[in-house]
Chains A and B, each alone.
Chain A
């Protein structure tokens, strides 16, 4: 069974600064997907970024980028130029890429506060 660990329950960052959220996972699979979701106070979970394990290049989406270390089973999220709207819970998630795999395994989340 896969597990996802987010070791930082809460973090804060000054507006316009950079912050990194950590995520590690445990799996015996070689092919899989990793995701970061954001859940603001509105409660809707929003996909921030996605990484395929077979791709060596780290995914980027505007101010969001990941540091994917497959051997270390690490998948951290870097938020650059933090904005007040980035305040939210951030969840790391794992998905096995095998056929019939539909169960995302989530971490417990990191609460990020962006301070003006």
Chain B
């Protein structure tokens, strides 16, 4: 039990599909994050939510749409993605939205065909 659970573990989708990634944390944390991990590139922060309010959006294309209905759940809705969006998407949580170590999930491996 990692404390941060991501589903699905793997996802293959076409460019016209709509899908969602889910993240759930059982640690009582107040902040949740989406990161993108591409081969041979540093992890890229996509979105940060603190107490269910979005506090950071790092110029992510609108085909990625986050949703945080409560402090334990975070979604990433995907729509009309491109092949270059194929990557490992990591969810993380932390006790607060700054100065706190992150606790990561196992990620969703996304392939866009």
Contact = CB atoms under 8 A, between A and B. Distances in A.
B7 interface: no
Nearest to A95: B99
Given A43-B88, A103-B56, A4 B42 contact: yes
Interface in B36-75: 40-43, 45, 48, 50, 55-56, 58
A78 interface: no
A112 B30 CA distance: 33
Contact of A106 (B43, B48, B94, B99): B43
A35 B94 CA distance: 14
Interface in B78-113: 88, 90, 92, 94, 97-99, 101-107, 109
A56 B19 CA distance: 48
B42 A44 contact: no
A104 B104 contact: no
Contacts of B56: 102-103
B17 interface: no
Contacts of A98: 98
A91 interface: yes
Nearest to B31: A102
B2 interface: yes
Contacts of A50: 101
B99 A104 contact: no
A103 B45 CA distance: 7
Contacts of A97: 99
A47 B42 contact: no
A99 interface: yes
Interface in A57-103: 91, 95, 97-103
B106 A104 contact: no
21 contacts: A4-B42, A35-B101, A43-B90, A43-B106, A44-B2, A44-B104, A44-B107, A45-B104, A97-B99, A98-B98, A99-B98, A102-B56, A102-B94, A103-B56, A104-B43, A105-B42, A106-B42, A106-B43, A108-B40, A108-B41, A108-B42
Interface of B: 2, 31, 33, 40-43, 45, 48, 50, 55-56, 58, 88, 90, 92, 94, 97-99, 101-107, 109
